[in-house]
Amino acid sequence: MIVFARTRWPYDSYADFWRLVELSEFPTCYVDEINLNADAVFITTPVNGEVEVLRQKLEHHGGPKPSRVVWWNLERPDAANMPPVTTIVSDALTVFDTVWVSDRYYRSLDERQQYVTLASHPGMALVPTPLTKQHDFAHMSYVFGRREQILGTLKRAGLRAAPAVGPGPGRDQLLRESRVMLNTHQTPAPIGEPIRIALTAAYQLPLLSEHLRDPYPLVPGMDYVDASAEELEPALRDLVRDEYRCGVLGQNLHRALCVERTFRSEVEAAVKVMRS
């Protein structure tokens, strides 16, 4: 059995992740409800102070246990004051049996981690039918630092941005009114933002992403457009002028992450590898 373990403290940035869990019909519990004696794989994200309850359970349990506990690490590795990836993984493996990451370049920074594609589900799009385009791009990201500079450059160039709002009917309308989803990095590491990419795939939007070192399973130029920070403005201009290309890119991304792979199928495959 596969069970997803929530933190009791809610994180707005993980709302879409938990929507994928719900749509994929996985059972859930809270981190403090993880049963180490159950024949199950428990998957949790993000990690916060609540993990200390799990650490205490492990200390009292002692010996082999039938359960496996996974941290699906979806945080960036180069945020301010972060220790090296090897230190993060070493610390995590004192509590978790496995650490998953959803970017192969990220995995290469410490190969004790297991790569798992974070795929999507068509139901993430509340209404799949597009609306008349009012915005050149959506970004649905927290705007700060380098992201603020990039978006400022695009707006000064006359490109129209949809407001970034949380999940719900308002965001659904904004996404359906947008021509392109723009994915930029909060930090310099060329590592993807898998939850945002999964959302984009569900809406069949074309994805323009700041450079990804290893975009697997996506193929640049076929499933999305890859560009450096400096190239984003001309790349976006080209896309918004090419309705046919936008349609093809959106369909290809949807096929890659909602048809050929799904959130459920990739989780089940990863658990099978972990247990083998």
CA distance 257 to 252: 9
What is the pLDDT confidence band of residue 208, given thresholds at 50, 70 and 90? very high
Asked whether the whole model's pTM tops 0.85, one would answer yes
Pairing mode of beta strands 98-101, 68-72: parallel
88: number of CA atoms within 13 Å, CB side?
Answer: 24
Q: Taking all residues of the chain, what is their mean pLDDT, rounded to a whole number?
A: 95
**CA atoms in the 13 A half-sphere facing the CB of 250:** 26
Q: How many CB atoms sit inside 10 A of residue 142's CB?
A: 12
Nearest Cα to Cα of residue 11 among 46, 43, 42: 46
Instruction: Judge whether 119 and 263 are in contact, CB under 8 Å.
Output: yes
pLDDT of residue 276: 63
Mean pLDDT, to the nearest integer, of 138-142? 91
**How many CB atoms are located within 10 Å of the residue 62 CB?**
7
Residues in the chain: 276
Nearby residues of 251 by Cβ (< 8 Å), 6 or more positions away: 204
CA gap 259, 2 in Å, rounded: 21
> In the predicted model, is pLDDT for residue 147 greater than 70?
yes
